[in-house]
Amino acid sequence: MAIDEKQLKDWEVLLNQAKDMGLTVEEVREFFVKKKALKTI
């Protein structure tokens, strides 16, 4: 499954917000895995 530019930008924004809240990339990834929102990351 290809990730388009918009999804990539959205993901970058989410990651930056998560960092601001003190979350690690791994915590963010786990959150998405649980949500099953992003299966490819």
What is the residue whose two structure tokens read 């999804």? 7
CA distance 7 to 13: 10
- At residue 39, the pLDDT reads 57
In a domain, 18, yes or no: yes
Residue 32 contacts residue 38 (beta carbons within 8 Å): yes
In a domain, 20, yes or no: yes
In a domain, 41, yes or no: no
Tell me, yes or no, if the pTM score tops 0.85. no
Look up the domain containing 18 and give its range.
Answer: 5-35
In this predicted model, what pLDDT tens digit does every residue of 1-41 receive, in sequence order?
566 888 888 888 888 888 888 888 788 778 777 776 655 55
What lies within 8 Å, CB to CB, of 1 at 6+ separation is 39, 40
